[in-house]
Structure 1
Amino acid sequence: MRKNILLGLLLVVVMAGTAQASEGWSAFKSRFMTPEGRIVDTGNNNVSHTEGQGYGMLMAVAWNDRASFTTLWNWTQQNLKNNANGLFYWRYIPNATPHVSDKNDASDGNVLIAWALLKAGEKWHVDAWLQASDAIQRAIVEHDVTRYAGYTVMLPGAQGFNKNSYVVLNPSYFLFSAWRDFARRSHLQVWDKLINDGMTLLENMRFGDSGLPVDWVALNAGGTLAPAAGWPPRFSYDAVRIPLNLYAYDASSLRLVPFQRFWMQFPRLQTPAWIDVLNNNKAPYNMNGGLLAVRDLTLGDTRQINGILSDNQDYYSASLQLLTLMALRGM
């Protein structure tokens, strides 16, 4: 009898967690997805970008929402596809003419879209989506991946990040789980090289007293690394995704330790949102929402992680919160 009661309670807890997660995706859609399939970045003048489209497509697969996935993918193809190189324009500005003025891509957005198509094609047995993913993967390798200073790296975009004497990297774009799936699908060694070299680079991106990476990093021709000129030398809103990506790839990775050490210094609700790794100045405000969810995941405080979005969360915070839940559940 006692065993049956415990099993019943466990089932109730699991069902409640599943319901919360579904409610989170429903809230995300109602708040940030237009009927046409555009994900709106409410914290950034309501623009859309490939990052948001990719996140939305991945969430739709995770929550078994084929209709939303189809709508998201159709809008992305119609409005952001660069037919000249097979990649995607990184940003769409709804109140501008033309809506796409910057013809560059963002490699993380390309990867997220290709990854979502791969997952969707396998889940729902749609060969056209698998073929579309394969084509985007090939375009990423051709235009966004390069060999530099002895490393195979994915540049943040096809244009503007190779400065000859150094290249600019965004380590939050190191999407190890996606690269692993691409390697499984294509059997191309380039994806394994990206994983291995990306892990090595992260090991060496330990700047200042905090020992943390920054949002934008310069890889010099000699192989040394430094915070990239032109951006604040902060572990901030981009780089916070690094431990999320590491956890999703390997929840027991020792590369999570620098982030754990830093965040453990602070009470949970008094954790600064960013730190300047060179002068140790910290944000005058604390983590909340999705940022806090990434902290909780990294520190193993999984009781705090749920799919309930607060009323004041913007697109990015809500995205991080649901992505954290997906990483925790292996979705």
Structure 2
Amino acid sequence: MTPLSLKRRRLLQAGAALALVNLLPGAAAEAFAQGCPAGWPQWEAFARRHVQADGRIVDFSVPEQQSTSESQSYGMFFALAANDRARFAAIWQWSRDNLGAGSDKLPAWQWGRREGGSFGVIDPNSASDADLWFAYALLEASRLWQMPQYLKAGMMLLNQVKAQEVRAMGELGPMLLPGPYGFDAGKDRWRLNPSYLPLPLLRRFAGVDPAGPWAAMAQGALKLVTQSSPQGFAPDWVIYDAGKGFQPDSERSVLGSYDAIRVYLWAGVTDDGDPLAGPLRAALAPMTKAIAAYGGPPEKFNTVTGAPEGRGPVGFSAAVLPWLKATGAADSLAAQKKLVQDKWQAWSRATPKAGADGDGEFNYYNSMLTLFGWGWLQGQYRFDAAGQVTPAWACRS
């Protein structure tokens, strides 16, 4: 190629990138205006350690060496955001073959080493948050990669969620059960998980299924978070009584911890243009003050009294990066970002083998939270107000 041709090609590429930025939603345009992220080393590091060649994502931190529907569905989303088509396809195929995803039933949530030593399904019940992420990743892969077979599979899953995991709950309206079995807590009483309902996913589902429960469920999700967090701290679990409203789940836990940290994560990555983003963040505003006072997100909150306990792991600091950005907490954002960067650099230099010591500080769950939170801050992906995702590779294309 001649120097003149090379120069012309680079000019055309720069112009195309600028045009794409101008067409992106506001949040994505802001993220990409300063340049597209050059690769995603955190995803590559995670994939080397946790994603097998056959598409199984392994959590080495537990004796079962388990794979869950959560890990598989999250992995598909990250593979999509990284434009990693081969791993996306492998993860989906393993999930179909071993969890039953894409069949006439919802996927089993837990697969791993059983008591006798063999590997297989440990618990056949499904986890509805993973089911939503499976459906979302498939729908967006179909749109971004122009692969209609993923659209068919995503809509099939979404219809199964509606049929098996959604209940009409009095004044709350249609709401997502954590799974089809085991979450009825008595007559007109249900056990719910506030972290299972990311607004961007519900917006996207409302777009592809406007007659479905998704728009109403988004309104219900706001009620779920605001009315179950009297001190401004979201619980891991809560009871909804159709006659009495939300009540602390004293039978299971009144704490907000490893599940609830995702409530702040989802609130942070929600597009500012979503009309529920502002009210949701306002209801959880005490978390911003707690991070500043504590030097980081606490590991646990008593959601009845508001009392914090312990310092959260590195994944918690990564998870709240979008939250701190969205709420304008610049000092805390800088401090938590530096903490995550420093810990990741130290960990990555050690280059542990897959499964060694459960992968240490960046074990499965901390890594997932890091990919979501730090990945968003890096500009690896953005959601728009309609719930569509814009990955960084669209900017680089």
Alignment of 1:163-174 (within 5 A): 163-165=185-187, 166-174=189-197
- Residue identity opposite 2:288 in structure 1: W
- Residue identity opposite 1:293 in structure 2: A
Provide the residue aligned with 1:64 in structure 2.
83
Please state whether the residue corresponding to 2:184 is helix, strand or coil.
coil
**Which has the larger displacement, 297-306 or 275-284?**
297-306
1:40 matched to 2:65? The reply is no
1:228 shift after superposition: 1.6
**Whole-angstrom CA distance in 2 between matches of 1:230 and 1:193:** 29
Alpha carbons 2:96, 2:103 under 8 Å: kept? no
- Residue identity opposite 1:290 in structure 2: G
1:260 matched to 2:254? The reply is no
1:287 matched to 2:289? The reply is no
Provide the residue aligned with 2:366 in structure 1.
317
Q: TM-score, normalised by structure 2?
A: 0.73
* Correspondence for 1:161 among 152, 168, 183: 183
- Residue identity opposite 1:282 in structure 2: P
1:42/1:128 Cα in 2 relative to 1: closer, same or farther (>3 Å)?
same
Alignment root-mean-square deviation, CA:
2.6
Provide the residue aligned with 1:145 in structure 2.
166
Alpha carbons 1:205, 1:213 under 8 Å: kept? yes
Provide the residue aligned with 1:74 in structure 2.
93
* Correspondence for 2:145 among 92, 101, 124: 124
By relative contact order (CA 8 Å, sep 6+), the higher-ranking structure is 2
Gaps of 5+ in 2: 1-32, 348-360, 383-390, 392-397
Please state whether the residue corresponding to 1:273 is helix, strand or coil.
strand
Provide the residue aligned with 1:9 in structure 2.
none
1:41/1:90 Cα in 2 relative to 1: closer, same or farther (>3 Å)?
same
**Whole-angstrom CA distance in 1 between matches of 2:166 and 2:94:** 26
Please state whether the residue corresponding to 1:18 is helix, strand or coil.
coil
Provide the residue aligned with 2:205 in structure 1.
182
Please state whether the residue corresponding to 1:28 is helix, strand or coil.
helix
Provide the residue aligned with 1:100 in structure 2.
121
**Whole-angstrom CA distance in 2 between matches of 1:270 and 1:130:** 40
Provide the residue aligned with 2:215 in structure 1.
192
Gaps of 5+ in 1: 1-12
**Whole-angstrom CA distance in 2 between matches of 1:83 and 1:76:** 8
Q: Residue by residue, what CA displacement relative to the aligned partner does 1:271-316 show, whole Å, maximum 9, x if unpaired?
A: 42111223544323x1232211222321224555499645231111
1:215/1:237 Cα in 2 relative to 1: closer, same or farther (>3 Å)?
same
1:250 matched to 2:271? The reply is yes
Alpha carbons 1:86, 1:135 under 8 Å: kept? no
1:128/1:111 Cα in 2 relative to 1: closer, same or farther (>3 Å)?
same
- Residue identity opposite 1:110 in structure 2: D
**Whole-angstrom CA distance in 1 between matches of 2:297 and 2:92:** 37
Percentage identity across paired residues of the two chains: 26
1:271/1:105 Cα in 2 relative to 1: closer, same or farther (>3 Å)?
closer
Q: Residue by residue, what CA displacement relative to the aligned partner does 1:148-172 show, whole Å, maximum 9, x if unpaired?
A: 1222100000001112331000010
1:233 matched to 2:254? The reply is yes
* Correspondence for 1:91 among 110, 132, 142: 110
1:162/1:84 Cα in 2 relative to 1: closer, same or farther (>3 Å)?
farther
**Which has the larger displacement, 297-306 or 225-234?**
297-306
Greater CA radius of gyration, 1 or 2?
Answer: 2
1:177 shift after superposition: 1.1
Q: Residue by residue, what CA displacement relative to the aligned partner does 1:240-279 show, whole Å, maximum 9, x if unpaired?
A: 1012112222345232234332332344635421112235
Provide the residue aligned with 1:3 in structure 2.
none
1:77 shift after superposition: 0.5
Provide the residue aligned with 2:12 in structure 1.
none
1:83/1:130 Cα in 2 relative to 1: closer, same or farther (>3 Å)?
closer
1:80/1:254 Cα in 2 relative to 1: closer, same or farther (>3 Å)?
same
Q: Residue by residue, what CA displacement relative to the aligned partner does 1:159-196 show, whole Å, maximum 9, x if unpaired?
A: 01112331000010012211211111122231111111
Please state whether the residue corresponding to 2:308 is helix, strand or coil.
coil
**Whole-angstrom CA distance in 2 between matches of 1:14 and 1:31:** 31
